Amino acid sequence: MQLYNKLSAEERRALIVAAGTERLTLSFYQYHHINNPQLFRDHLFVHWNALEVLGRIYVAHEGINGQLSVPAPRFEEFKSFLDSIDFLQDIRLNIAVEQDNQSFLKLTVKVRDKIVADGLNDSSFDVTDKGVHVNAQQFNELLSDPNTICVDMRNHYESEIGHFDGAVTPDVDTFRASLPIIEADLSDHKTDKNLLMYCTGGIRCEKASAYFKHKGFENVFQLEGGIIEYARQVKAQGLDNKFRGKNFVFDERRGERISDDVIAQCHQCGAPCDTHVNCANQACHLLFIQCEACQQKTQSCCSETCQEIVNLPEAEQKRRRRGTHNSNKIFKKGRSSVLKFKQ
């Protein structure tokens, strides 16, 4: 029985192209107590692998968080499988605004301590006492209310390329880092202001809203379904789009356009740009914003040093990478000192 991905990203890419089948990119999450996450994880992998589902899924005792790519002709099979699981029956699926058949190139299902790393002690507060869920129209109404403080619960590199009008965008690297900062900055408005929160698909706000209510905030609201569902409702209902720029996504697309506004700049030359790339040097892989002109000039590298490395023979590049491991701390996601304009 196959329980792990056995194909490389390039092998999978070739298979997707050869198949010529349209795929749907979607996401969902659900907080629910899972007694045996490892057993549940294996159950998911076996069934999803058979359905040719690809994606990144985290399973924990507290629930599941998934971003996936599903062959369009097999979507109903996929949905029927979800409905066969009690706590996933009729779950809301956030369908991507912009589709890409190669948004995911592997099926990765991992058991984690938490489905979102929040650094919170869940036993210290009632995680089910959440904020009020609002749809796109209600969100717009609250956003225009002068008694509302709107907070982006995402990280700096996400809000840099897109955010709601007038939103507070904490300059943080992680979700867990934002919670105490937001509490401290808004401590004088726990009772007299509406705290309106949003994130990519809603999962971070689920926990954050309960946390802030525990901390004394009385009027807490959260955008149901996040930016993804907001964009869908705006288009379907002809609502005023209050989001500017791109919505950062954690797959090969790296972003989906919500409005025509380009609010970010190339980290190397400063030209208007909101395209995230990873440095072509596999030993670096830095995530940063790079325009097409700089991509051509630097061979998609973040620095002259990395450009020198990518021009070495592949065998020499592999030798230099041997024994090293990239992590989020190494990536720095746009804060690296090598990014001249960003600095």
Please give the angle made by the CA atoms of 224, 227 and 232, to the nearest 5 degrees.
85
Instruction: Tell me the pLDDT tens digit for each residue of 118-176.
Output: 888 888 888 888 999 999 999 999 999 999 999 999 999 999 999 999 999 999 988 99
- Decide which of 111, 142, 165 is a domain's last residue: 111
Q: What percent of the chain has pLDDT over 70?
A: 96
Q: How confident is the model at residue 1 (pLDDT cuts 50, 70, 90)?
A: low
Q: Which of 10-14, 88-92, 223-227 has the lowest mean pLDDT?
A: 10-14
Radius of gyration of the chain (CA): 21
| Res. 330: pLDDT tops 60 | no
Q: Is 268 inside any structural domain?
A: no
Q: How confident is the model at residue 318 (pLDDT cuts 50, 70, 90)?
A: confident
Question: Distance between CA atoms of 309 and 323, rounded to whole angstroms?
Answer: 17
Q: Are residues 16 and 93 in the same domain?
A: yes
Q: Is 152 inside any structural domain?
A: yes
Residue type, 12: R
For residue 86, give the CATH number of its domain. Answer: 3.30.70.100
| Structural domain harbouring 318 | 276-334
- Chain-wide mean pLDDT for the chain? 93
- Give me the mean pLDDT over the 24-50 stretch: 96
Catalytic residue among 150, 199, 266, 273: 199
- Give me the mean pLDDT over the 243-267 stretch: 96
Q: How confident is the model at residue 184 (pLDDT cuts 50, 70, 90)?
A: very high
| Res. 332: pLDDT tops 80 | no
> pTM of the prediction?
0.88
pLDDT given for residue 127 in this prediction: 84
Q: Does the annotation mark 199 as catalytic?
A: yes
pLDDT given for residue 123 in this prediction: 85
Residue type, 325: H
Percent of residues in the chain assigned helix, strand, coil, to nearest 5: 35, 20, 45
Q: Are residues 99 and 168 in the same domain?
A: no
Instruction: Tell me the pLDDT tens digit for each residue of 264-280.
Output: 999 999 999 999 999 99
| Res. 18: pLDDT tops 90 | yes
Q: Are residues 16 and 90 in the same domain?
A: yes
Are residues 242 and 165 in contact, defined by beta-carbon separation less than 8 angstroms?
yes
Task: Give the number of domains in the chain.
Answer: 3
| DSSP sequence for 186-240 | TGGGTTTSEEEEE-SSSHHHHHHHHHHHHTT-SSEEEETTHHHHHHHHHHHHT--
- Decide which of 190, 217, 237 is a domain's last residue: 237
Q: Are residues 32 and 128 in the same domain?
A: no
